[in-house]
Amino acid sequence: MRVLVTGSSGLIGSEAVAYFHGRGAEVQGLDNNMRREFFGPEGDTRPVLQRLREECPSFRHHDTDIRDRQAVLRLFKGEAFELIIHCAAQPSHDLAARRPFEDFEVNALGTLNLLEATRQHRPEATFIYMSTNKVYGDAPNELPLVELETRWDYARREDYGGIDESCRIDASMHSLFGVSKAAADLMVQEYGRYFNMPTVCFRGGCLTGPNHRGVELHGFLAYLVKCAREKRPYTIIGYKGKQVRDQIHALDVCRAMEAFHGRPRCGAVYNLGGGRANSLSVLEAAAHLRERLGRPLQTTYAEQARLGDHICYITDLGKFKRDYPSWEISRSLDDILDEMLSPSPLAIA
């Protein structure tokens, strides 16, 4: 099997390269290290690329910008890809507001370039797009909530399982990042339905793992762990630190990709996250780390929440589990935290 992974030096991209290489696939990666431009030296992914070259001998890397339409078309014309895993993105909610053109061009235009190259040259290939729950904007905040001691939670029994795919994506505040990802999400669906191509949008919650080195603008749990380990102050932004996210390990994301490729659909959409069992608030995450490290975290508090941010977001995994019943979460929240606290010199911003 021939696999192309975009954003192949990022968290999910590098995990996908190693995962499918380990299953005997011929894997190529497309990544031009824009994370260094977005996040500075801490975002530099060159060490990750070096690791992939050492650990995956047949892996082929292309230093290509997905905004370069002709370069993308040339690559697809010459290669018989059977699976395209599109992870390349500008991933920061906050950075998008400061760099709107780069955000939209990478997230929306880059995705269109890949879809059209796939349609022209490999329309039978499975196209997997790593979307985001930010396509829902702040619509999830409209659910009735109850304030508990350490978290916000859903007030109604019918909402206990979390947010499913019926949540609307319009008439809400998204952040510019959410809008650019929503544009790409809709385009992936449309290519699937209009051209009868096997495509899927995985609307991810917090995707993480031991190779995720968060930065202040992206990667809440990984950045919190980093601050705790290095005794840096961490700023809690709004909602009393009781905002809730669910965490899914990068390995489980790759297992979901493999399941979909084994039985693909056209224009599919699935929410993908850790579910209630892997959910926690900022305060709860800090408590977990305090217990593991034996010392309190240094925190400050900023009253103003991020515009369009979710108060409580737990992923309802029911649709994906019904369609792919052999898939399940294999890494618990405790597993994720324990791995994050182990040395990980090649962690990814």
pLDDT, tens digit, for every residue of 121-143? 999 999 999 999 999 999 999 99
Q: Residue 188: which of 114, 292, 295 has the closest Cα?
A: 114
Does 324 reside within a domain? yes
Residue found by looking up tokens 């979390």 in the block: 162
At 141, list the tokens.
Answer: 């905040």
Q: What is the CATH number of the domain that holds 258?
A: 3.40.50.720
Does 32 reside within a domain? yes
Does 121 reside within a domain? yes
The answer to whether 114 touches 72, Cβ cutoff 8 Å, is: yes
Low-confidence ranges of the chain (pLDDT < 50): 345-349
The predicted model scores a pTM of 0.94
Q: What pLDDT does 30 receive? A: 97
Does 264 reside within a domain? yes
Host domain of residue 76: 2-142+160-212+248-275+316-331
Does 18 reside within a domain? yes
Q: What pLDDT does 52 receive? A: 96
Does 54 reside within a domain? yes
The answer to whether 300 touches 236, Cβ cutoff 8 Å, is: yes
Does 110 reside within a domain? yes
Does 348 reside within a domain? no
The answer to whether 126 touches 3, Cβ cutoff 8 Å, is: no
Q: What pLDDT does 243 receive? A: 96
What backbone torsions phi and psi does residue 244 show, to the nearest 5 degrees? -115, 135
Q: Residue 112: which of 12, 35, 180 has the closest Cα?
A: 180
Q: Residue 221: which of 248, 203, 202, 239 has the closest Cα?
A: 248
Count of structural domains within the chain: 1
Q: What pLDDT does 215 receive? A: 64
| Whole-number percent of the chain with pLDDT over 70 | 96
State how far the alpha carbon of 103 is from the alpha carbons of 93, 113, 175, 287, 327, in Å.
Answer: 10, 15, 11, 34, 32
Q: What pLDDT does 15 receive? A: 96
User: CB atoms < 10 A from the CB of 82, how many?
Assistant: 15
